[in-house]
A = this chain, B = another copy of it.
Amino acid sequence: MKPINIGLLGIGTVGGGTYTVLKRNQEEIARRAGREIKVKMIADKDLDRARSFADHDVIVTDNAHEVTTHPDIDIVVELIGGQTIAKNLILEAIAHGKHVVTANKALLANHGTEIFAVARTKGVMVAFEAAVAGGIPIIKALREGLTANRITWIAGIINGTSNFILSEMRDKGLSFEQVLAEAQKLGYAEADPTYDIEGIDAAHKITLMSAIAFGIPVQFSKVYTEGITKLTGEDIRYAEELGYRIKLLGITKRVEKGIELRVHPTLIPVRRLIANVEGVMNAIVVKGDAVGATLYYGAGAGAEPTASSVIADLVDVTRMQTAEPMHRVPTLSFQPDLLSDTPVIPMEDVETSYYLRMQVIDKPGVMAEITRIVAENNISISALIQKEPSSDSDRVSIIMLTHLTVEKNINAAIARIESLPVVTSKVIRIRIEELNN
């Protein structure tokens, strides 16, 4: 049988990895796919780099449109990134009847619904395993492995950079800024690390997983996003003392009123397996009503791990292309005319429990005043600890853990606590997830 022809858009880190792995494992991949998967064209602005990868029979171009419109190309692999050019190229490839494989989480989290709809009208597939959690086959697990389940929630460590930073802060007692500099030196963080440390990258990924898990459209604008830049070693240590570890989690949850969709630093019990995922590794816990909790762990980034997912999609598309479109695995797991309109609920309606830390002047009645405010906002306290300062200051830290409550109650309580003259700091607020039901 003749090979399936691939056009690669972008031969950067992931594109290079994809070319290398396809070539190295071509025999084994062909044994699985039933035919050879062959890169026929590479488009990249950097022609020298493209030529340094390309074998003699590969067409190299700096004009991506040549690839998206070429009659011999069966699948276009978009690894350029960004939203404007990448989107146009993907739409052009679809218009020319080509299947698309992409790792572009930002594009799909923002414009996925539109792109998937266009692909559907043309009867082609858009596959994006590489867009979420690098080499971990989590999209496949959600879309195919857990189809029996009503999914209850997903919680994931889905940004390696921020997990590395948090691991190092805890292990070595360093500050956020120190570890960030180290991560940049090691190549784990980019020169502009905003997307990673502000939770935006994680927000793209949880948006995609949420859509697949709950059969809703992708809605990046609805994610609550809070990064790790304000975390201190102090909170990491106190959390440990209380039996928790702080991780940046992407969380999506089905609750009575709708879907929760959020990214923020989170205290999770140290005894949970996911609490022990360290460094740049990723892991996702999925809770289904039949299967219970399952966890998926692996490298969340890097040339070859991401290439592993790109190529898995290539094999899938190769295998599936002869199936009638309506019998293929639906892009968002649910058949597109059966998407649900369950709303994403606003953050202030989210119910969770909280770790609060504040600095107060150490005098009689302060505790009473703070606990009264908390009670008046219908929040009940599960632990309250006073920490003496190391210096001989008259200030002490108060750490409070709450039971489940609604975010707006906490907001109201924090505002009132911060207005007390005896409270001399902002109130640090970190959400807690037990991940047990």
Chain A interface residues toward B at CB < 8 A: 17, 21-22, 24-25, 28-29, 31-34, 129, 135-137, 140-141, 144-150, 215, 273, 276-277, 283, 288-299, 304-305, 307-312, 315-316, 318-324, 326-330, 333-335, 338
User: Within the assembled complex, what's the spacing in Å between the Cα atoms of A254 and B263?
Assistant: 40
Contact between A294 and B292 (Cβ–Cβ < 8 Å)?
A: no
The distance from the CB of A308 to the nearest CB of chain B, in whole angstroms, is 4
Given A291-B299, A295-B297, A329-B319, residue A145 in contact with residue B137 (CB < 8 A)? yes
In the complex, residue of chain B having the shortest beta-carbon distance to the beta carbon of A297: B295
Contact between B335 and A29 (Cβ–Cβ < 8 Å)?
A: no
Q: Which of B29, B146, B298, B310 contacts A312 (CB 8 A)?
A: B146
In the complex, residue of chain B having the shortest beta-carbon distance to the beta carbon of A286: B298
Contact between B150 and A145 (Cβ–Cβ < 8 Å)?
A: no
Given A25-B150, A33-B147, A148-B310, 13 more pairs with CB closer than 8 A: A25-B148, A135-B292, A137-B140, A141-B141, A146-B308, A273-B273, A273-B276, A288-B308, A294-B297, A295-B295, A296-B297, A319-B328, A323-B327
Chain B residue numbers with a CB within 8 Å of A290 are 17, 21, 25, 135, 304-305, 307-308, 311
User: Within the assembled complex, what's the spacing in Å between the Cα atoms of A288 and B302?
Assistant: 14
Chain B residue numbers with a CB within 8 Å of A335 are 31-32, 34
Chain B residue numbers with a CB within 8 Å of A328 are 319
Contact between A147 and B29 (Cβ–Cβ < 8 Å)?
A: yes
Contact between A319 and B327 (Cβ–Cβ < 8 Å)?
A: yes
Chain B residue numbers with a CB within 8 Å of A323 are 319-320, 322-323, 327
The distance from the CB of A68 to the nearest CB of chain B, in whole angstroms, is 23
Q: List 7 A-B contacts (CB under 8 A).
A: A31-B335, A33-B147, A34-B330, A144-B144, A273-B277, A294-B299, A295-B297
Chain B residue numbers with a CB within 8 Å of A299 are 291-294
In the complex, residue of chain B having the shortest beta-carbon distance to the beta carbon of A214: B28
The distance from the CB of A35 to the nearest CB of chain B, in whole angstroms, is 9
Q: Which of B135, B315, B324, B327 contacts A147 (CB 8 A)?
A: B315
The distance from the CB of A45 to the nearest CB of chain B, in whole angstroms, is 26
Contact between B149 and A294 (Cβ–Cβ < 8 Å)?
A: no
Contact between A273 and B288 (Cβ–Cβ < 8 Å)?
A: no
Contact between A327 and B321 (Cβ–Cβ < 8 Å)?
A: yes
Contact between A25 and B292 (Cβ–Cβ < 8 Å)?
A: no
Chain B residue numbers with a CB within 8 Å of A289 are 21, 24-25, 304
Contact between B135 and A140 (Cβ–Cβ < 8 Å)?
A: no
The distance from the CB of A171 to the nearest CB of chain B, in whole angstroms, is 12
Given A145-B137, A327-B321, residue A291 in contact with residue B305 (CB < 8 A)? yes
Chain B residue numbers with a CB within 8 Å of A149 are 21, 25, 308
